[in-house]
């Protein structure tokens, strides 16, 4: 059933997604908009993808897929030859197409360029196999996962493979290999540099109260921010969650950017879209305000409209070996050391440091009292320091 028949347009989850800046999603194999409160123009593309299983752990299914694609490709070639021959021979027989149903119809759309293959692959060898499949049959492929895609980026770029990745996905390197393995925060940057279209999604694609939405550091924009941490530029990072993502979904003619003739889908924020402190104030879908922060009870209490945004801390990334001297420290300053004075220390001329009178008699620090005991000299009271009282 289409998304508009299975979706609750008054769902709290849809509202939370809009509050997170998401206006378009992939629902099954259909691309749909989050038109909160309305089902009008919700679906913008049906049957956008054909899911293929090409896992290396299932060699029999891989061989079956290869054989099925070969069979459909041969059929399409026979159909083209028949269309040419029937112009000269009216009795030319059309190739049998009764078997072209179910999965074979999906394969026909792939080979005709009417659909895109969606595959999941993470390891380097699996990604190489995906690239080989795309080149051999000339089909468009979008790979999800792609944790080790940075290690085979040139091959993916030459095969025209697109990637949907999560920059913070982690995968330990395999010590059995002497080649690069495992995950890298530079994945998005390396793929971009080799011409691989990249879209970024968060670690969980489910929109729930405890999952994607409602947790600042799990939002889509934060994954794009981590791609920047890996070397991708701010502009390219924004493209991975806007126009490049729309292009991978095949709907860039309608959404993904603000251009004349496109749908009026946009979000209005109170700061840098790649900052976790930024709040979405408005989400506009099909030219209609689908979310208004000030009128909803979810996040209206967080920095209400008109309230001054708190000053953000300076960003000192990337980390430096030596911190700038003007950065305040939390440790209290060390007290100045008091110089040690040794008693009876002699001057350079050999005289004692204790003062003597003009007649050579040493002036004692303590004057003798009548009973023969020395009396300590009166010590003047220290002057009060300003602000001591």
In this structure, the answer to whether residues 184 and 80 fall within a common structural domain is: no
SS3 283: strand
pLDDT of residue 313: 56
Please state, in angstroms and rounded to a whole number, the distance separating the CA atoms of residues 228 and 189: 8
pLDDT of residue 98: 87
pLDDT of residue 314: 60
In this structure, the answer to whether residues 209 and 239 fall within a common structural domain is: yes
Structural domain count, the chain: 2
Mean pLDDT over residues 213-218, rounded? 58
Residue-wise pLDDT for 120-150, tens only, equals 999 999 999 999 999 999 999 999 999 999 9
In this structure, the answer to whether residues 79 and 164 fall within a common structural domain is: no
Please state, in angstroms and rounded to a whole number, the distance separating the CA atoms of residues 261 and 265: 12
In this structure, the answer to whether residues 86 and 122 fall within a common structural domain is: no
In this structure, the answer to whether residues 82 and 194 fall within a common structural domain is: no
In this structure, the answer to whether residues 140 and 175 fall within a common structural domain is: yes
Q: Which residues sit opposite 51 in a β-bridge?
A: 118
104 within a domain of the structure (yes/no)? yes
Cα Rg of the chain (Å, integer): 37
368 within a domain of the structure (yes/no)? no
pLDDT of residue 263: 92
| Chain centroid offset of residue 185 CA | 10
Residue-wise pLDDT for 3-42, tens only, equals 777 778 888 888 888 988 999 998 888 899 999 988 888 8
Q: Which of 88-97, 208-217, 239-248 is predicted most confidently?
A: 239-248
Q: What angle do CA 227, 32, 8 make, to 5 degrees?
A: 115
In this structure, the answer to whether residues 173 and 88 fall within a common structural domain is: no
Instruction: State the pLDDT confidence band at 351, using cuts at 50, 70 and 90.
Output: very low
87 within a domain of the structure (yes/no)? yes
% the chain with pLDDT above 90: 47
Residue 88 has pLDDT above 50, yes or no: yes
In this structure, the answer to whether residues 145 and 17 fall within a common structural domain is: yes
pLDDT of residue 200: 95
pTM of the model as a whole: 0.74
Mean pLDDT over residues 176-184, rounded? 91
Please state, in angstroms and rounded to a whole number, the distance separating the CA atoms of residues 196 and 78: 33
Determine the structural domain holding residue 89 and report its residue range: 56-111
349 within a domain of the structure (yes/no)? no
Mean pLDDT over residues 344-360, rounded? 48
pLDDT of residue 27: 84
285 within a domain of the structure (yes/no)? yes
267 within a domain of the structure (yes/no)? yes
**Least confident span in 23-32, 50-59, 356-365:** 356-365
304 within a domain of the structure (yes/no)? no
pLDDT of residue 250: 93
In this structure, the answer to whether residues 35 and 88 fall within a common structural domain is: no
CA distances from 180 to 149, 193, 220, 252, 350 (A): 11, 18, 27, 34, 75
77 within a domain of the structure (yes/no)? yes
In this structure, the answer to whether residues 221 and 268 fall within a common structural domain is: yes
Instruction: Report which of residues 140 and 84 the model is more confident about.
Output: 140
Please state, in angstroms and rounded to a whole number, the distance separating the CA atoms of residues 207 and 95: 47
Instruction: State the pLDDT confidence band at 355, using cuts at 50, 70 and 90.
Output: very low
Instruction: Return mean pLDDT, the chain.
Output: 81
Instruction: State the pLDDT confidence band at 371, using cuts at 50, 70 and 90.
Output: low
% the chain with pLDDT above 70: 74
For residue 38, the domain's CATH number is: 3.20.20.140
In this structure, the answer to whether residues 69 and 213 fall within a common structural domain is: no
pLDDT of residue 9: 84
Instruction: State the pLDDT confidence band at 353, using cuts at 50, 70 and 90.
Output: very low
In this structure, the answer to whether residues 18 and 98 fall within a common structural domain is: no
Instruction: State the pLDDT confidence band at 387, using cuts at 50, 70 and 90.
Output: very low
Residue 327 has pLDDT above 60, yes or no: no
């Amino acid at each position: 059933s289409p998304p508009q028949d299975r979706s609750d347009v008054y769902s709290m989850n849809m509202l939370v997604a809009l509050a997170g800046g998401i206006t378009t999603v992939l629902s099954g194999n259909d691309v749909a908009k989050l038109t909160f409160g309305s089902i009008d123009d919700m679906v913008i593309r049906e049957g956008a993808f054909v899911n293929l299983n090409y896992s290396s752990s299932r060699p029999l299914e891989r061989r079956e897929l290869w054989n099925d694609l070969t069979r459909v490709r041969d059929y399409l070639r026979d159909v083209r030859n028949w269309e040419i021959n029937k112009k000269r021979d009216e009795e030319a027989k059309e190739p049998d197409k009764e078997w072209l149903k179910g999965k074979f119809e999906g394969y026909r759309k792939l080979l005709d360029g009417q659909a895109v293959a969606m595959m999941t692959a993470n390891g380097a060898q699996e990604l190489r196999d995906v690239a080989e499949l795309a080149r051999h049959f000339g089909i468009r492929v979008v790979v999800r996962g792609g944790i080790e895609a940075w290690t085979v980026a040139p091959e993916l770029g030459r095969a025209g493979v697109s990637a949907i990745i999560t920059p913070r996905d982690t995968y330990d390197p395999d010590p059995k290999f002497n080649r690069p393995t495992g995950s890298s925060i530079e994945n998005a940057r390396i793929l971009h540099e080799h011409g691989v279209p990249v879209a970024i999604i968060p670690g969980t694609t489910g929109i729930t109260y405890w999952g994607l939405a409602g947790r600042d550091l799990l939002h889509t924009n934060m994954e794009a921010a981590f791609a920047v941490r890996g070397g991708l530029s701010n502009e390219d990072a924004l493209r991975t969650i806007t126009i490049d993502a729309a292009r991978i979904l095949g709907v860039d003619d309608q959404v993904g950017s603000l251009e004349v003739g496109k749908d009026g889908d946009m979000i209005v924020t109170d700061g840098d879209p790649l900052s976790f402190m930024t709040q979405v104030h408005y989400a506009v879908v099909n030219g209609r305000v689908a979310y208004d922060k000030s009128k909803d009870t979810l996040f209206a209490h967080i920095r209400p409209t008109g309230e001054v945004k708190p000053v953000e801390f300076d960003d000192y990334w990337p980390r430096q070996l030596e911190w700038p001297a003007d950065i305040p420290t939390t440790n209290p300053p060390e007290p100045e050391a008091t110089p040690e004075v040794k008693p009876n220390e002699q001057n350079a001329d050999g005289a004692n440091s204790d003062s003597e009178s003009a007649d050579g008699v040493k002036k004692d620090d303590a004057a003798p009292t009548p009973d023969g005991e020395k009396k300590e000299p009166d010590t003047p009271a220290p002057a009060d320091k300003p602000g001591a009282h």
